[in-house]
Amino acid sequence: MIRHRGNNVKRVMSKGGNRKIQKIEHPPKSTNVNLPNSNGHRSSVITSKRGSNGKTFSWSNVKFTNVKPIWKGETVFIIGGGPSLRGFDFEQLRDKNTIIINKAVQTCPWADVLYWTDSRVYDWYKNDINNFKGHKYTVKPYNVPSDVKALKNTGVSGLEEEPNGVRHGNNSGYAAINLAYHLGVSRIVLLGYDMGNLGAQSHYHEGYPVKMTQDRTYESKMLHLFDKIAKPLKEKDIQVINANPKSRINCFPKLVLEKALRLG
C-alpha cells in the first residue's frame, strides 16, 4: 500500500510572492470535504487543484458515478500489492472477476476494474492507466481522461452504501473492498493484503517513488479500520476471504492462496 502524504498546503501567488491560504488534511487529501447539514445529510465544500499538467481542476465540474452491480451474486478477486504475491502467476486470475489497485495495472492490464485513491498514482502511471481498457475508478479525478469514473470520498471508516461513493480507510485496498460491494458481489477474495513489509520488501513489485510505508504506520493508520467494514459486510451476507494466512488483517477468515483461487 502507498502511505498517504501528510498535510497539504495550498498556495496562491500574490504580489509579494507565495502566500499560504489554506491547510488541507490528508489523508484524505480531499477537495471534496463532506460536512453534515441541518437535515443530517452531507454536503461538499468545493475547492480547486492545479494538476501536474498545469490545468486547474475544480470539483464543480465533476459528475460522480453510480457504480452498477455488474457482478451480482458473483465472486471478485482484489489484487493488493503485498510482498506475499512475489512470484505469483497472475495469469491464474485472467478468467476471473478482478479489481486491481494502483501499480497492479502494470501486472494485470487485462483486469476488469482499476481503482486508486492517491492522486499521484495517475501521475506516475499515466500511460498504463490511459491504455487500460477496463473500468477505472478514483476519488481523486484530478485532470484525468473522461473514461475515469469519479466516486465521492465519504469518510475514513465503515461501509458506504450509496453507489456513488466509498470509504477510504487510509488506503486504496480498503476503498476497493467498498467498490466491490457496489459491484454486487457476494464474495470478495483479497490477494496481497499483507498490511506489512517483508524485511526490505514493501510490495510484490518494485514499489513506488516514495519512502516505504513503515509497519508502525500500517498499525496506527490502517489495520484497525478494516474491522469497521468487516461487520457491515458480514451483516449483508457478503463473504470476505483473506488469501494470505500471514496477513496482519485478522477480521476476515483466512485461506491459503491455492485454495482461495478455487472459489471463483
**Arithmetic mean of pLDDT, 127-155:** 96
pLDDT in tens, 168-202: 999 999 999 999 999 999 999 999 998 765 666 65
Which residue type occupies 259? K
pLDDT in tens, 40-88: 444 333 334 655 555 688 888 899 999 999 999 999 999 988 888 888 9
Quick check: 213 pLDDT over 60? yes
216 vs 20, more confident? 216
Distance (Å, whole) CA 197 – CA 164 = 32
Taken in order 207, 3, 128, 101, the sign of the CA dihedral is positive
**Domain boundaries, given as residue ranges, for the chain:** 75-263
Among 3.90.1480, 1.10.3470, 1.10.10, 1.20.1050, name the CATH number for the domain at 75-263. 3.90.1480
Closest alpha carbon to 250 in 220, 221, 223, 219: 223
Beta bridge partners of 101: 115
How many Cβ atoms from other residues are within 10 Å of residue 60's Cβ? 9
pTM of the entire predicted model: 0.77
Residues found in the chain: 264
Q: What is the pLDDT of residue 238?
A: 98
Q: What is the DSSP letter of 177?
A: H
- Provide, rounded to the nearest whole percent, the portion of the chain with pLDDT above 90: 58
- Strands in 51-107 per DSSP E: 56-58, 75-79, 98-101
Spacing of C-alpha 21 from chain mean position = 29
Please, is 246 exposed, middle or buried when counting C-beta atoms within 10 Å of its C-beta (0-12, 13-18, 19+)? Answer: exposed
**Taking a C-beta distance cutoff of 8 angstroms, is the pair 39, 47 a contact?**
no
The residue assigned the cell 472459489 is: 263
**Taking a C-beta distance cutoff of 8 angstroms, is the pair 2, 210 a contact?**
yes
Closest alpha carbon to 183 in 222, 225, 134: 134
Distance (Å, whole) CA 247 – CA 192 = 8
Quick check: 4 pLDDT over 60? no
Closest alpha carbon to 44 in 55, 56, 28: 28
**Arithmetic mean of pLDDT, 83-108:** 93
